[in-house]
Structure 1
Amino acid sequence: MRIVVIVLLVVLVLAVGLAVYVRVAPSDPDRWHVMPDDVTDRDLEGGAMRVVDAGEGGLARLHEIITDTPRTTVLAGSVEEGMITYVTRSKVFGFPDYTTVQQSGGKIRLYGRLRFGKSDLGVNAKRVDGWLNRFRQG
């Protein structure tokens, strides 16, 4: 019985440690504030990519929509720079997802991806598509 209690305590300490790490691990802009050259409309195992027509001022409009999303902050970039990377954290565990948005000419490219794990279960695609639906309505 004593060994079972010790094992459970070790598991609990590891779980709490992992939860704390997920919330406090630094986000390096040099690693996450990047846009791949091959962005096309597609879902990835751990994220999603989209390309949309935006027109003048599109990035500024989309920025307002994105920053209105709960638990979402700017990691790097700005509308003036033409590229912004956002961090959106999950509600319960605080897992970070990164979305980089870039406007080039009349097109906006979005690249959303997870940081931890291999599959995001479609969360990034759903979030990005929700932003784009609001963008198209407005």
Structure 2
Amino acid sequence: MLKKILIGVGVVAVAGVAYVRFSPTDFATFHMAPVATEAGDTPGINSFKAARQITTPAAEILQAVDLIALDTERTLRVAGSVGEGVVTYQTRSALMGYPDYTTVTVMDGVEGPLLVINAQSRFGAGDMGVNRARVEDWLARLGSLVVPTT
């Protein structure tokens, strides 16, 4: 009896991992330009949005973000392009392969152009801070190309 229960639990676990890894994603759900009018951060339960003033033209900052994003482990570009002005990246967790989506754009803010980065989880109701950590890492790696918030 115990053997059957353990096999059942194993099958359910494998099915869950397979669903997370292979279920199709409607990228239109995640590939929407994030909106902000002022620099600052907006944390959510399973998301994090940051907006920063930029010190370089929009195309250059998006190119820099693209290089940083593609240098991030388990991250790939899934929608948009630097030329389009909106890019969405997928980053998968190391163990279970949970996908997070990070969308980046530049838009006009109250005090000038803003780099806006919105990272969100596809599954669950809590991301244990990974989206915030990724966005803050990317901003730190941009260095003087963005103006830190006070």
TM superposition score normalised by structure 1: 0.91
SS of alignment partner, residue 77 of structure 2:
strand
1:115 maps to what in 2?
Answer: 122
For residues 91 and 15 of structure 2, what CA distance do their matches in structure 1 show?
21
CA distance in 2, matches of 1:107, 1:118: 28
- Whether the aligned pair in 2 keeps the contact of 1:82 and 1:104 (CA below 8 Å) is no
**Do residues 59 (structure 1) and 62 (structure 2) align?**
yes
Residue 129 (structure 1) aligned with residue 136 (structure 2): yes
The equivalent residue for 1:19 is 17
Q: Percent identity?
A: 36
**1:101, CA displacement in angstroms?**
0.5
Gaps in structure 1 of 5+ consecutive residues: none
Q: In structure 1, how many angstroms separate the alpha carbons of the residues matched to 2:116 and 2:144?
A: 18
Q: TM-score, normalised by structure 2?
A: 0.84
The aligned amino acid for 2:11 is: V
Question: Could you tell me how far apart the structure 2 residues matched to 1:25 and 1:38 are?
Answer: 31
> Which residue, 8, 13, 18 being the options, matches 1:10?
8
CA distance in 2, matches of 1:52, 1:10: 49
The correspondence for 2:31, drawn from 30, 33, 42, is 33
The runs of 4+ residues in structure 1 deviating greater than 4 Å are: none
2:35 and 2:135 map into 1 onto residues whose CA distance is 19
